[in-house]
Amino acid sequence: MKNLKTLTLTAALALGASGPLYAEKLHFIMCGGEIRDADQSVVDAFEAKHDGVSVNIEAIPWGTCQDKSLTLAAAGDPPSVAYMGSRTLRQLANNNLIVPAEISQDTISAYQPGILNTVTVKGTRWGYPRAFSTKALFINCDLAEAAGAECKAPKTWDDMYALAKAINDNTDAAGVGIAGKDFDNTMHQFLNYLYSNGGVVIDPQTGENKLDSSNTRETLAFYKKLVSVAQEGPTAWERSQLKDLYNDGKIGMYIDGPWGRGQHKEGMNEITVPVPAGPNGDNGTILITDSIAVFKGSGHEEFAHELAGMLTTGQSQYALDTEWGLTPIFDYEKLGFDAPYYKGDAYWQVFVNGIGAGGPEPLVEDFKSLQSVFTNMIQGVILDDDTVDNLVTIAGEELDEAL
Amino acid sequence: MSQSTGQFGATSLKSSPLKSPRISPAFFAWLLVAPALLFILVIVAWPLLETFRLSFTNARLGGESYVGLENYEKLLEKRKFHQTIYRTFYWMFLSVSLKLILGLIGASLLNAAVPGKALFRVLVMPPWVIPIAIGCIGWLWLYNGYFGILSGTAQWLGLIDGPFEFLAHKKSAFYSAVVTDVWVGTPMVTLFFLAAMQGVSRDLYEAAWVDGAGRWYRFRRITIPQIMPVIVSMMLLSAIWTFNSFEVIWILTEGGPRSASTTLIIDTYKTAIGNYKFGEGAARAVIIVILLSIFSLIYLFFLNKVNKIYGSK
C-alpha cells in the first residue's frame, strides 16, 4: 500500500511537472486599457479548444500601448498578438516585426469598402481588421433651440459655423468642441474636415505628399474660424474628453464615433448628422481601423493566427461591433445576418453611408512624426502662432521629411 | 562567545590574503573594490559608452549604420533645439530659485519657536511623500478650465470672465509646470535647510542678540553664512534634478502646447522612445551629459570658494 501511494505521488508529480513543459502561453496585448467581453469570450473558446494553451491578455491604455508593443518586439521579446491601431502596421512590417495576416477569401469579400486598405502595405495585408469607425457630428438640440436656432443638420461649413456661433453668442455654452491636444485624434478630427473638403494627405496611387494644397489651407482656415466659437483652450482637450463637456452642456456640438450615443446622457435631445461639406468637397469622414497583428518570433505564430482569425470572423466580430457600438466592419448581410443592428436605423445610416465617401488614416512608416506634423499645424492655428499659409507650407515640408 | 571570536580572529589573520606572499596589498585592495567597480561599469559606464556610440549612428527599429557627426550637426542647425536648450535652463533657473527661496522661508518658519511647529513639519511633507504621478494628476484637475478649482475660484472672484485652461496656452502651460515642480521639490529643500539651521550654534545667536542685532540681521549674518555649504549643495542637486525632471512636465503637458514646455529631457524621450530614433535621441542625451558636466564643474569651483570663505570642510 505504501509503495502504491509513493508511486501515485511520483506519477502525480511527474504529470504536474510535465504539464508546463508542453504548455503554450500566448501574450495578447490589448490596447485600450480594458478587456472587452466580446474578446474574452473568444479567448475562452480558444483556450477550451486547445488543451494546454493559455492566453495572457494584457490590457494597456492607448497612450502607451503601441509604444510598448513596438518596444517589446524590437527588444526581441514580442507579444504573440496585439490589438492596436492599424497605423502602426507599416512601421512594424517594414522593420520585419510582424507576419502577414492570413485572412480567408470568404471573409475578405465581406469587408466594407476601404477596410482592407487600412491594413495593406504594398499589396500585403499585415493585420486582421478588428474594429472600425466612421465619424459624425453630434448636435445638442436643447442648446441650439435655446440659442434661437433650428436644430437641423448643417449642410455646409458656413451653416455649421452659423449654428455654432449662435450657440456661442446666445447661451453659456461654447458653440463647438475641438480636439487640439498632442494626441492622435487631433489629427483624426482634422482629417474629417479635410476629407469633407476634397483634401488628400498622401496620393493613394503615387504615394506622393499632397498635404500642401488649397484644400488643406481652406480646412485650416475654417478651423481658425471655429476656434473663435469653440471651448476655451482646445489644445488641452482630446476627443474622448469632449464628451464630458458635451454631456455637461458646455459645448453645442462635436465630432465623435458611433459609440458616442451610448456615452451621452440618457434622453439627451440631440441629432447626429454627417460632417458638413467644405467648399470643395462632400460630406466626408476618416475611416479608422484597429487591427490584430501577429508578431514574428513569439514561437506561437500558428496559434496566434488562429486566435486572430477566431476574433475577427462572423459572430465574434458581430458581438464586438454591437457591444461597443462600432461602425459595422463587415457587410453582415453577406455573412448571412438577416437583420443586422444598423439596418433601417437612421442613426446608423449616418455612419454607414459615410464609408463610401471616407478617406483613410494615412499609413506611413513613422506615424508619430505624421501625428506631430498635424498637431503642430493645428495647434499653430489654435494658438494663432502663424498664418494659415505658413502653417500648411511648413506642415507639407515636415511631412516630406517624415515620409 | 569571546573565545569563538578570538579563534575566528586568529584563523582569519593567519589566512588573510594580506599575509600571503602571492597577493600584494594593492591587488587585495583592488579585489575588494572590484564588485563595486564592476557594478558601476555595468550600470553607469557601459550605458554611457553605448549612448555615446549610438549617437554616431542612425539607429532605429530596423537597425543602425554609422553616420558620423550627422546627428550633432542636425541638432546644432535646428533653431527649435536651441530654443529647447534655452527653455531648459530657464525652467531650471526659475524652478530652482523658487524652491530655494521657498525652502529657506519654510525652514526658517519651521525652525522658529512657534506653537505647533511639529505639526507644520509633518504638513510640509505630503508633496514629497505623495507619488509624483498622483500629485500631478491632482494638479491636472486643478488646472482644468471647466472643472478645476483654480479657474472656478478666479471666475467666482470676478478675475476672469469665463473658464481658463492653464495648460492650453504656451506661457501658462510652462509656468503651471514650474509651479507644480516647485510644489514637488520644495519640501525636500525645506527639510535639508531645517536640518542645517538646527545645527547652527545657539551661542552665536545669543551673542548677536546681546550686541543688539535684530532678527533680519541675525538671519543675514549668522544663519545664511552658517548654512551656505548646504545651500550650495542643494542648489546643485536641485538643479540637476530639475534639469532632468520628466514626470511633472510629461504628465501635465507632454511638452506642449507646440513645444512650449519641452525641455531637453522631454525632447530626448520623444525622439528616442516616442519616435524610435535611437541615434538622434542618443545625441541629445550626450549633449545633456556635457551640459550637466559643465554645470557641475562650475558648481565645484563655487563650492570650493564657499568652503574657503565660510570654513566648511
Segment B14-61, tens digit of pLDDT: 555 555 567 888 999 999 999 999 998 999 899 999 999 999 999 987
Buried residues in A28-62 as b, exposed as e (16+ CB within 10 A): bbbbbeeebebbeebbeebeeeeeebebebebbeb
Is A243 in the same domain as A257?
Answer: yes
**Any B CB within 8 A of A67 CB:** yes
Asked if the model's pLDDT at residue B166 lies above 70, the reply is yes
Asked if the model's pLDDT at residue B12 lies above 60, the reply is no
Quick one: three-class SS letters along chain A? CHHHHHHHHHHHHHHHHHHHHHCEEEEEEEECCCCCHHHHHHHHHHHHHCCCEEEEEEEECHHHHHHHHHHHHHCCCCCCEEEEEHHHHHHHHHCCCEECCCCCHHHHHHECCCCHHHHEECCEECCEEEEEECCEEEEEHHHHHHCCCCCCCCCEHHHHHHHHHHHHHHCCCECECCCCCCCHHHHHHHHHHHHCCCCCCECCCCCCECCCCHHHHHHHHHHHHHHCCECCCHHHCCHHHHHHHHHCCCECEEEECCCHHHHCCCCCCEEEECCCECCCCCCCCEEEEEEEEEECCCCCHHHHHHHHHHHCCHHHHHHHHHHHCCCCCECCCCCCCCCCCCCCCHHHHHHHHCCCCCEECCCCCCHHHHHHHHHHHHHHHHCCCCCHHHHHHHHHHHHHHHC
DSSP state of B277: -
Asked if the model's pLDDT at residue A116 lies above 80, the reply is yes
ipTM more than 0.90?
no
Above pLDDT 90, what percent of chain A? 68
Residue A92 in any domain: the answer is: yes
Give the range of the structural domain holding residue A87, as residue numbers without chain letter: 22-132+288-353
- Neighbouring residues of A161: CB distance < 8 A, sequence distance ≥ 6: A222, A225, A226, A229
CATH fold of B78-310, please?
MetI-like fold (1.10.3720)
Q: What is the pLDDT of residues A215-262, one digit of tens each?
A: 999 999 999 999 999 999 999 999 989 999 999 999 999 999 999 999
DSSP state of B259: T
Give residue A68's pLDDT. 87
Determine phi and psi for A176, rounding to 5 degrees: -145, 155
- Neighbouring residues of A219: CB distance < 8 A, sequence distance ≥ 6: A190, A193, A194, A197, A199, A278
Name the pLDDT band for A14 (thresholds 50, 70, 90): very low
Nearest to B252 by CA among B90, B142, B97, B87: B142
Is A324 in the same domain as A297?
Answer: yes
What type of residue sits at position B240? I
| Residues forming beta bridges with residue A121, ordered by sequence position | A124
Is A315 in the same domain as A272?
Answer: no
Find the mean pLDDT for residues A265-288: 94
Is A244 in the same domain as A278?
Answer: yes
Give residue A6's pLDDT. 53
Find the mean pLDDT for residues B259-263: 95
CB contact residues (below 8 A), chain A span 167-196, against chain B = 180-182
Question: Which domain CATH number covers A201?
Answer: 3.40.190.10
What is the length of chain A? 403
Is A260 in the same domain as A161?
Answer: yes
Residue A257 in any domain: the answer is: yes
Chain A residues whose CB is inside 8 A of the B164 CB are 232-233
CA A360 to CA A112: how far, in whole Å? 13
Q: By the 8 A CB rule, do A40 and A260 touch?
A: no
| Residues forming beta bridges with residue A133, ordered by sequence position | A288
Q: Between A378 and A64, whose confidence is greater?
A: A378
Domain chopping of chain B, boundaries = 78-310
Give residue A123's pLDDT. 87
Q: By the 8 A CB rule, do A325 and A258 touch?
A: yes
- Give SS3 for A309: helix
Asked if the Cβ–Cβ distance from A91 to B169 is below 8 Å, we say: no
- Give SS3 for A293: strand
Find the mean pLDDT for residues B253-274: 93
Which residue bears the cell 513543459?
A21
Is A195 in the same domain as A279?
Answer: yes
Asked if the Cβ–Cβ distance from A67 to B162 is below 8 Å, we say: no
Chosen for mutation from A71, A232, A245 (greatest number of chain B CBs closer than 10 Å) is: A232
Asked if the Cβ–Cβ distance from B164 to A232 is below 8 Å, we say: yes
Residue A9 in any domain: the answer is: no
CA A164 to CA A143: how far, in whole Å? 10
Chosen for mutation from B276, B278, B280 (greatest number of chain A CBs closer than 10 Å) is: B276
**Any B CB within 8 A of A91 CB:** yes
Number of domains in chain A: 2
Q: By the 8 A CB rule, do B200 and B222 touch?
A: yes
Residue A8 in any domain: the answer is: no
Residue A183 in any domain: the answer is: yes
Residue A358 in any domain: the answer is: no
Q: Between B127 and A167, whose confidence is greater?
A: A167
**Any B CB within 8 A of A248 CB:** yes
- Give SS3 for B142: helix
Is A251 in the same domain as A146?
Answer: yes
State how far residue A189 is from chain B, nearest Cα, in angstroms: 17
Backbone conformation region of residue A156, classed left if phi is above 0, alpha if psi is from -120 to 50, else beta: beta
* Angle at the Cα of A398 from the Cα atoms of A395 and A401, rounded to 5 degrees: 155
CB contact residues (below 8 A), chain A span 278-317, against chain B = none
Residue A4 in any domain: the answer is: no
Is A271 in the same domain as A302?
Answer: no
Range from A164-178, A313-327, B168-182 carrying the lowest mean pLDDT: A313-327
CA B296 to CA B293: how far, in whole Å? 5
Is A204 in the same domain as A340?
Answer: no
Is A128 in the same domain as A143?
Answer: no
Helices (H), B15-78: 25-40, 46-54, 70-77
Nearest to A184 by CA among A385, A394, A367: A367
Find the mean pLDDT for residues B278-302: 91
